[in-house]
Amino acid sequence: MRSEPTVTILDDPEAMADAAARLVVDAAAEAITVRGRFTLALAGGRTPAATYAKLAAPPYRDQVDWAHVWAFFGDERAVPPDHPESNYRMAHEALLSRVPIPRTQVWRIRGEAEDAEAAAAEYAKALAEAFGTRRGELPRLDLVLLGLGVDGHTASLFPGSPVLREVFRTVAAVHAGAAAIPQRLTLTLPVLNAAARVAFLVAGAEKAKVLKTLLVERALLPAALVSPEHGQLVWLVDRAAAALLTAAERR
Ligand code: 6PG
């Protein structure tokens, strides 16, 4: 059963990062208590870095049972893991190298692979093994963190991308094409919508227009297609990004 999305507006990027870190800590405690582990898909881009840095430092660092955390990625660029554009590198530097999460529980997407389709299939197989899912079944992540692009993309689900129509595969290669779509690898909408909880982390005045387009005008941008079927959808937004929202959206 779909629950109504919640939109929480925080004073500034630092407060938003703090709220996001708190959400991760709470989701981890609940999942580990109930299921013995916490499965998390990390977002890429710049915004989440502040949240990851908070999770890597006291007090939040010491409130997560890292030995029972399994970290996945929502998407990856077509670059090696040490490249400045790598989502893995950003998460590794800000968080994964600073907390005692077992290396065997960090599942990197091989963005650097020559054969992107093979890398997508490889990650899909890794997800199936990690979640014990069979062909046609979807992994249910405890929490998926997502960012929001100014064009309404999220993960590597871009406007006009054929990957938006993917209903079976869990991971897809995003081929650079006419619509200025970059070469990427991404979790697909079925996986995002199978999650127990999805949290968008949005900060900065440059996101105000797309947030209005999404939440007020309800445009069918890729981020609007993220709607967990049996889970929670949470927007953590700073005041600058929320500037064009009316009272109705600030639920
Ligand atoms: C990526 C992300 C992408 C990101 C948005 C927002 O690989 O870049 O998956 O979806 O979340 O582009 O990026 P910023 O947080 O840098 O604005």
Domains identified in the chain and CATH numbers: 11-145+159-200 (3.40.50.1360)
Please tell me the residue having the least CA distance from ligand 1 atom 3.
155
Give the pLDDT band (50/70/90) at residue 239: very high
Q: How far is CA 127 from CA 26, 27, 42, 71, in A?
A: 23, 20, 14, 11
Nearest alpha carbon, ligand 1 atom 13 = 45
Candidates 93, 99, 107, 124; CA nearest to 188 is 124
pLDDT of 104: 98
Q: What is the pLDDT of residues 187-232, one digit of tens each?
A: 999 999 999 999 999 999 999 999 999 999 999 999 999 999 999 9
Instruction: Please enumerate in sequence order all residues whose Cβ is within 8 A of that of 126, keeping only pairs 6 or more positions apart, or say none.
Output: 107
DSSP labels for 78-90? SS-TTSTT-HHHH
> Whole-structure pTM over 0.95, yes or no?
yes
Cα gap 230→190, rounded to integer Å: 12
How is residue 220 written in tokens? Answer: 């069918």
d(CA 159, CA 110): 24
46 lines ligand 1 (CB under 6 A): yes
Residue type, 231: G
Pocket test for ligand 1, best of 16, 153, 189, 214 (most atoms within 8 A of CB): 153
What separation in Å is there between the alpha carbon of 134 and the centre of ligand 1? 30
Name the pLDDT band for 181 (thresholds 50, 70, 90). Answer: confident
Looking at every residue in the chain, the average pLDDT score rounds to: 96
Cβ(207) to ligand 1 under 6 A?
A: no
Closest by CA position to 196, among listed 30, 36, 76: 30
Q: Could you tell me the distance, in angstroms and rounded to a whole number, from the CA of residue 33 to the centre of ligand 1?
A: 31
Q: How do residues 145-171 score in pLDDT, each as one tens digit?
A: 999 999 999 999 999 999 999 999 999
Q: Which atom of ligand 1 is nearest the CA belonging to 146?
A: 11
Q: Which atom of ligand 1 is nearest to the CA of 77?
A: 7
pLDDT for the residue 175: 87
Q: Is 228 in the pocket of ligand 1 (CB under 6 A)?
A: no
Give the SS3 label for residue 251: coil
Backbone φ and ψ for 200, nearest 5 degrees, come out as -85, 135
What pLDDT, on a 0 to 100 scale, did the predictor assign at position 1? 64
